[in-house]
Structure 1
Amino acid sequence: MIGTWRWNAGFGVLGAGLTVMFSIGSNPLSTMLLRSLFAFISFFILAYAARMALAFILKPPGILAVQDEAAESAGTQLDYTTPDNPDELNDLLKAQLQGGAGTPGAAQASPESEGQSGDFKPLSPPQLVTADNKSPEQLANVLRHLTGE
């Protein structure tokens, strides 16, 4: 549970104090003290219930503890392996540098992966064109068009 019995005592005193404040003018002293005692006991027990509810709400479930352990160990080990045959690795690197879609092991690949890897082409945006070869009339028309004249 969260906190100590002092929290319960504090809530009990708060309940007893509120009871005394609201009943001081309308009840005799003995009735007021008896009701404040009952209020103290009630608030003391309610504080235990509230503390248990808070402990239940704020306690992380057991699943989160397992995920936290997995998250802490994530990225601590690197499990990459290179091919055992260095010639195959060199062929793969050469194929990448040359921009070829076919790889040395392409004949052994499944037909599904051939269609996917053969169709891929990296993004090649168009180059910017300079206005060096434009005539002054064309440039003036473009300027008029942009300014709305």
Structure 2
Amino acid sequence: MEQRRFDMLGTWRWNVVFGILGTVLTVAFSIGNNPITVMLLRSMYAFIAFFVLAYGVRGLLAYILVPPSLVGELPEAMHEEGKGAQFDLKTPDEAQELNDLLKSQMQEGTSTSSAASFSNEEKDFRPLTPPQLLSTKNTQPEELVKAIRHLTGE
């Protein structure tokens, strides 16, 4: 468990970046007030201090960011290699049931009971019957001209 926490800390490169950040901040705040030798000495101290401080920050972050499932003791089953790595599903063999269903449908197709079942379904089903639009076959040409003039606004 503790080894996993230290693995999550990262690498020493983060410490170097954190140390360089401390050095840059020290140089930026002391460049106008101190001679260059004092500024370089303090920058070196800042690098060392920030480098060491980065271990503490990374350790604290690793402790805080541990997922809740890893906080307690892991069960014995979780320690086994490969457990939970794969999710296998197997569907039951339904070939015989499928064959029986197809045979029963073929037998119903030749009998009259299938015709009765289809007729019951047809009675329940009612197709949508929208209202019919007026046809222009029996209208006079003058009426069509009036309709077109009305629609075009003339």
Q: Normalization by structure 2: what TM-score?
A: 0.48
Return the structure number with greater relative CO, CA threshold 8 A, min gap 6.
Answer: 2
- Which structure would you say has the larger Rg? 2
